[in-house]
Chain A
Amino acid sequence: MAFQSNNALVRWIDHRLPIFTFMNAELNEYPTPRNLSYMWNFGSLAGIVLVIMIATGILMAMQYTPHIDHAFDSVERIMRDVNSGWLLRYVHMNGAHFFFIVVYLHILRGLYYGSYKAPREILWMIGVVILLLMMATAFMGYVLPWGQMSFWGATVITNLFSAIPFIGPDIVVWLWGGFSVENPTLNRFFALHYLLPFVIVGMVFLHLWALHRFGSNNPLGIDAKGPQDKIPFHPYYTTKDLFGLGVFLLVFCAVVFFAPNYMGHPENYIQANPLVTPPHIVPEWYFLPFYAILRAITFDIGIPFTGIVLIDAKLGGVIAMFGAIAVLFVLPWLDRSPVRSGRFRPVFKQFFWLLLVALVVLGYMGAMPAEQPYVAISQIATAYYFAYFIVILPLLSILERPKPLPASISEPVLKGGGSVAGATAKPMEKP
């Protein structure tokens, strides 16, 4: 339907730049499957959190000093002397944690309901790019307050690049801008921490563009058969998203106002000291599964019985860690099953929940010292993580017999028999 307006100015502008038509089509009329569950709330939540991060970040950047002698004190100044500075900082700091909670749930949703499958491969891959950018942004942001964990986290992670054969050590010096994590390192991390969120915004637009090409997937994983399967985004999903936002903010604000340091590490309230190594260098929780994968590779890979080492343990760990994300890029071509939703894939479903167990176990191991039995457990969980994508999903695509699919979204005739047309719109999914 063409966009109509009573306002002459709006019509005048829209005729020349059809921005109102565009917004009306994409945010108002945009046809959306009628059966989306609350698992579909996390996309819009992630977008809102991104805006909150940028707003609080820019305001803090007006008081923050990116110099190793002043960064720590300037953050304390924000906490003490800047009007509502404590609020800005606690929202930004906890916002990063909640950003990852929301995005991880968003990704798990996609994994379970097969949202990465055709025709949404590019949409999915842009999502993985966003995840990578978020990780880089959060890592560099964590360095800015220049506490002990900031400094030592930066040292450990930048040192990983020295595992690259031949040019590794030079790359590390280039990353640092010197011969250790020093003032130039902090400066460039601040510059990039300011820049990358805006790259993320650009990526989010591409993500939404690709999304609106075919519309959302849904808990049944089947395509809409006609207009009866879809409802306009507004007012149905605007109200549902706002309700979800309310619930999210209740939890988020409870943490920000009553336990703002619960998810942080106390050690980061000690100013960075290159001469004192903390007893335990632990990344933030959202990196722990990947950190565990990094440390799970404790063996060299080479030609058996010759003693020739092709990939030493350190490089192997780095490859595995980046591989854990890289494998997501090719996921659409690993899982060839034509059925999207895990709901109709009885075997897939079991392996999916096991993947979640493996991820939780990895997160737990990432916080443990690199000793036995933790290393062995990490190795098993790491093996499962990769096997899930590289072995299990391709095999299931051939071997699994999915349950019969419902005929359409509005008439899931196969679901428990006597359901009435349209009855699926209301019940909220509990996968």
Chain B
Amino acid sequence: MLKRLAASAIAAASIFVAAADTPAEAAKAVPVPDYDFSFDGVFGTFDQMAKQRGFQVYREVCAACHGVRFIAFRNLMALGYSEEEVKALAAEYMVEDGPDENGDMFTRPGIPADRIPSPYRNEQEARLLNNGAYPPDLSLMAKKRKGGPDYIKALLVGYGEPPADVELMPGMYWNDYFPGHQIAMPEILFDGSVTYADGTEATLEQMSLDLATFLMWTAEPSMDQRKQTGISVMLFLLVFTGLMYAVKRKVWADIH
């Protein structure tokens, strides 16, 4: 019957709308695996230590080329660092400030209120120092790419040799998960690239997982709070709706 047809068309379309985002890119890119993250699902929260480890890898490896411009040092307290630790960390960076009373800009050690400085002053300088490629800011990376944190992790472990029939363009590297497969970012992360402060073994698997967790946090720092609030709201609404259903039944009882 046509009504059923309409119903199934709607069901098919709603599944489809989720998948249809970028069909053209999907044709080029390999589907991203679904990794297990501490923050998956309704009850998942960020693993505090994973965030710290991810930040450590970011700082020691990725920060050479990528900024996280939406993150201030003070935000790092959400990773479990104390105020003293954050102050000390900020002071390791030099930050431009000014103008002073002579009208000159000057640099000073960072304070917790400063944003973490990005490695390049602007896109032009970034391109100049990266053979024309632009390492994008990572703060929102986990939200601006399809697959989010899964994509980031996949990208970091997805380097390899190109298939025999593909010739890489100069300065490009093969990556299984990058759209088009040729990426200007070299393979940068190897087993043991860092020595973790908490003693965890720094395998490529571990580091990429930690980085994806850290970058999910930079993209959505309020996620834990959001889900926590959500659970209370849902519980309240369940009670409210149940109550309203009972009231409605009671009120309507005299109509039949």
Which residues of A are interface residues toward B (Cβ below 8 A)?
Answer: 34, 73, 76, 79-80, 86-87, 90, 231, 235-236, 239-240, 242-243, 245-247, 249-250, 253-254, 256-258, 260-262, 265-267, 269-270, 279-280, 282, 285, 349-350, 353-354, 356-357, 360-361, 363-364, 367-369, 422-423, 425-426
Closest A residue to B223 using CB positions? A86
The answer to whether B230 touches A258 (Cβ under 8 A) is: yes
- Known contacts A256-B230, A360-B9: A266-B237 contact under CB 8 Å: no
Chain A nearest CB, measured from B143 CB (Å): 5
Give every chain A residue within 8 A of B230 (Cβ-Cβ): 253-254, 256-258
Stretch at the interface among B30-38, B57-65, B238-246: B238-246
The answer to whether B244 touches A242 (Cβ under 8 A) is: yes
- Known contacts A253-B233, A266-B145: A364-B16 contact under CB 8 Å: yes
Closest A residue to B9 using CB positions? A360
The answer to whether A364 touches B2 (Cβ under 8 A) is: no
Can you list 12 residue pairs at the A/B interface with Cβ under 8 Å?
A80-B221, A86-B226, A90-B226, A242-B248, A250-B241, A258-B227, A262-B18, A266-B145, A282-B21, A364-B17, A369-B23, A422-B255
The 9 A-B pairs with the shortest beta carbon distances in the complex, nearest first, are: A257-B230, A246-B241, A353-B2, A269-B144, A425-B255, A243-B244, A356-B6, A360-B9, A239-B248
The answer to whether B234 touches A80 (Cβ under 8 A) is: no
- From B16, B20, B234, contact of A257 by CB (8 A): B234
Residue of B12, B146, B221, B233 with highest tally of chain A CB at under 10 A? B233
- Known contacts A236-B251, A270-B144: A353-B5 contact under CB 8 Å: yes
The answer to whether A257 touches B229 (Cβ under 8 A) is: yes
- Known contacts A265-B21, A353-B5, A423-B256: A249-B251 contact under CB 8 Å: no
Residue of A354, A356, A360, A426 with highest tally of chain B CB at under 10 A? A360
The answer to whether A243 touches B248 (Cβ under 8 A) is: yes
The answer to whether A249 touches B237 (Cβ under 8 A) is: yes
When chains A and B are docked, how far (Å) is the Cα of A258 from the Cα of B22? 23
Which residues of B are interface residues toward A (Cβ below 8 A)?
Answer: 1-3, 5-6, 9-10, 12-13, 16-18, 20-25, 42, 70, 75, 140, 143-146, 148, 219, 221-222, 225-227, 229-231, 233-234, 237-238, 240-241, 244-245, 247-248, 251-252, 255-256
8 further contact pairs, Cβ within 8 A, besides A249-B240, A353-B3: A236-B251, A239-B247, A258-B230, A266-B144, A266-B145, A270-B140, A280-B21, A367-B23
The answer to whether A243 touches B241 (Cβ under 8 A) is: yes
Chain A nearest CB, measured from B216 CB (Å): 12
The answer to whether B17 touches A367 (Cβ under 8 A) is: yes
* Majority secondary structure of chain A interface residues (helix, strand, loop or mixed): helix
- Known contacts A258-B230, A279-B25, A353-B2: A236-B70 contact under CB 8 Å: no
Chain A nearest CB, measured from B164 CB (Å): 28
- Known contacts A246-B240, A266-B146: A356-B9 contact under CB 8 Å: yes
Chain B nearest CB, measured from A283 CB (Å): 12
Closest A residue to B5 using CB positions? A357
When chains A and B are docked, how far (Å) is the Cα of A265 from the Cα of B247? 40
Closest A residue to B246 using CB positions? A243
Give every chain A residue within 8 A of B22 (Cβ-Cβ): 267, 279-280
Closest B residue to A148 using CB positions? B144
Chain B nearest CB, measured from A79 CB (Å): 7
- From B2, B23, B234, B256, contact of A422 by CB (8 A): B256
Chain B nearest CB, measured from A38 CB (Å): 11
Closest A residue to B41 using CB positions? A258
Chain A nearest CB, measured from B131 CB (Å): 19
When chains A and B are docked, how far (Å) is the Cα of A331 from the Cα of B3? 22
Give every chain A residue within 8 A of B9 (Cβ-Cβ): 356-357, 360-361
Chain A nearest CB, measured from B142 CB (Å): 9
Closest B residue to A351 using CB positions? B2
The answer to whether A269 touches B234 (Cβ under 8 A) is: no
The answer to whether A357 touches B17 (Cβ under 8 A) is: no
Closest A residue to B232 using CB positions? A257
The answer to whether A261 touches B143 (Cβ under 8 A) is: yes
The answer to whether B234 touches A360 (Cβ under 8 A) is: no
Give every chain A residue within 8 A of B148 (Cβ-Cβ): 266
- Known contacts A242-B244, A279-B25, A350-B2: A269-B255 contact under CB 8 Å: no
When chains A and B are docked, how far (Å) is the Cα of A282 from the Cα of B25? 13
Give every chain A residue within 8 A of B21 (Cβ-Cβ): 265-266, 280, 282
Closest B residue to A238 using CB positions? B251
- Known contacts A246-B237, A246-B240, A250-B238: A357-B2 contact under CB 8 Å: yes
Give every chain B residue within 8 A of A34 (Cβ-Cβ): 255
- Known contacts A257-B229, A353-B3, A360-B6: A279-B251 contact under CB 8 Å: no
The answer to whether B24 touches A369 (Cβ under 8 A) is: yes
When chains A and B are docked, how far (Å) is the Cα of A101 from the Cα of B128? 48
- From B23, B145, B237, B255, contact of A231 by CB (8 A): B255
The answer to whether B6 touches A357 (Cβ under 8 A) is: yes
Chain B nearest CB, measured from A372 CB (Å): 14
The answer to whether B252 touches A254 (Cβ under 8 A) is: no
The answer to whether A426 touches B221 (Cβ under 8 A) is: no
When chains A and B are docked, how far (Å) is the Cα of A34 from the Cα of B247? 17
Give every chain B residue within 8 A of A231 (Cβ-Cβ): 255
